[in-house]
Amino acid sequence: MIRKIRKQMTLSRVVLIVFLSCIAVFMLLPIIFLFNNAFKPLNELFLFPPTIFVQHPTMRNFEQLLLHTAAGVVPFSRYLFNSLLISGITLVAVVLVSTMAGYVLSKHRFHFKRLIMALIMISLMFVPETVMIPRYLMMSGLKLTDTYFAHILPFIAAPVAVFLMKQFIDQIPDALVESAKLDGATDMTVFTRIIIPLTAPAVATVCIITFQAVFLDTETSMNYITNETMKTMAYYVTAFTSNVPGVAAVSISAAVGLLMFVPNLILFLLFQRKMIQTMLHSGVK
């Protein structure tokens, strides 16, 4: 009897595991397809019915991509460079600003703290479209259109990141900060030696969120940038896939699809362990 139940249990277990594995594989399909597609020769790209796995891998798609120039003058590498530069600078700036703001909002006492926090919360509620025109007016008023600042500055005001950091730093006991102050630490020392190491998981999360937002952003290039050399890869990809006709587009877009995906993947692999870690309360109580 007991054995029977046990058998049933394991059977249902097995079914569950098989089922979940299937879902996992299904979820993986686009990624597998993406990787394979990038290396397919032209005839395989147009194969019907389409295949998932590549049969004769080739680097031709990437070759085409590097040779292709948008609007006749700007090479693909320029877009890639723009994207990486902007994402990198924005990432550093957002992490710096949001962690500092989070620390101050969480551990310091000052006037209008609640009001400031409320304003940040309210700014979370705006749909991006509503701020597009005011933002354009500000950018052109500051004469920042067609510069990298137009890409970077709007992203630095990141209420989600500030909110996330504030919530996370709230969990660090005040006693830790006070103890450090009694030990002779300045605010900067407390921040760099205590707060940042303890909030590493939140910082990792902020990094991933920010990078994705910046790297995949096309609005900025579309709205504030007219100079083709200042636009980003994300813009290039969307413009390319919708505008360029012909056979060449398919092979290039296969390659560029992979290139868009890889930085995200790298960042995620780098930070996912930190995200899962919850080491915060280990030293207290």
**What are the structure tokens assigned to 56, written together?**
């004769």
- For residues 191 and 236, which CB has a smaller minimum distance to other proteins in the complex? 191
Considering the complex, state which of residue 3 and residue 285 has its C-beta at the smaller distance from other proteins.
Answer: 285
CB of 80 to other proteins, least distance (A): 37
> Which is nearer to other proteins, 111 or 143 (by Cβ)?
111
Distance in Å, CB of 268 to other proteins, minimum:
24
- For other proteins, the closer CB: 201 or 257: 201
Q: How far is the CB of 116 from other proteins (least distance, A)?
A: 17
Residues that bind other proteins (CB under 8 A): 173, 175-176, 178-186, 189, 193-194, 197-198, 279-285
Shortest distance, CB of residue 197 to other proteins, whole angstroms?
4
> Judged by CB, which is closer to other proteins: 143, or 285?
285
> In the bound complex, what is the minimum distance in angstroms from residue 167's beta carbon to other proteins?
18
